[in-house]
Amino acid sequence: MTITHVTDGDTMDVRFSDGQEETVRLLGVDTPEVHTETAPSEWEGIPDTDAGAAWLRNWGENASRFATTELEGETVQIRTDPQADRRGSYGRLLVYLSLSSSSDDRSFNQRLIERGYARLYDTDFSRRDEFAAAERRARDEGTGAWGFAGASQVTATEALADSGQSVPLELVRIHADAAGNDNENLNDEYLVFENTGTETLDLSGWTVADEAGHTYMIPEGMTLAPGEQLTLSTGSGTNTQTELFWDADGALWNNGGDTVIVSTATGTVVLRESY
């Protein structure tokens, strides 16, 4: 069967081999809403404030982009759970979903939780304990939506950006063409940013995205002093104050051209550069 449309991070349409179409809802997970508001009270540790709601709205959009990039047009496998309801309250089929082309035995449902795009939707299903453990790990590590970076106040850097003033963050190098096979040398694909201003920039919760919607969120507490540079590598590694790792599954930056988009935690675009 094929994914024909992604509604949001946890809901999509599939077409079966006989041409029949069905709307499916991913079992056991809940991503933040994009078409309505998400109550921050549903997410442990996210304050019930305007900033908390804006944070979850942004992460709902991130989850939708991730699902669209990963799934739309792809051949997938779905299965129901005999311990769970077959359909939800809106009549959607409740399923575990996996990519047919992937050797990863984890469901897409579980991947959403592990990456912080979704919380556990606490109903009766056979993999509840496994999903709950994955949510605890993501929450403890501040992964994705759990890494809220604005509980107390908007940073001075964000206030500067949101006021429409220029933020002195420059993209000084784009190394899109890694040596050899890009997908086998992910850490030789990287971006280098520099603070060209006179004040320290607080980058907590900011995002870096490409034209296709792949999005990386900068960890809470990440700052960049005047004159300092920060490298964002596509592959995996241990984050430091001068180098971050996207932990992507494959190459991101198109060798023939792409656009780098940097936004604050509240969604204001502060840098957009095409190459």
Strand partners, 192: 173, 231
- Is residue 119 among the annotated active site residues? no
**Count of alpha carbons within 13 angstroms of residue 47, beta-carbon side:** 9
- Do the Cβ atoms of 196 and 170 come closer than 8 Å? yes
**SS3 state at 175:** strand
- Is residue 189 among the annotated active site residues? no
- Is residue 57 among the annotated active site residues? no
For residue 136, give both structure tokens: 């605890």
Residue 225, judged by CB atoms within 10 A of its CB (0-12, 13-18, 19+), counts as exposed
Q: Which of 57, 61, 70, 92 is catalytic?
A: 92
Which residues touch 241 (CB under 8 Å, ≥6 apart)? Answer: 222, 223
Residues 245 and 233: their CA atoms lie apart, in Å, by 5
Residues 28 and 11: their CA atoms lie apart, in Å, by 12
Q: Which residues are catalytic?
A: 25, 33, 92
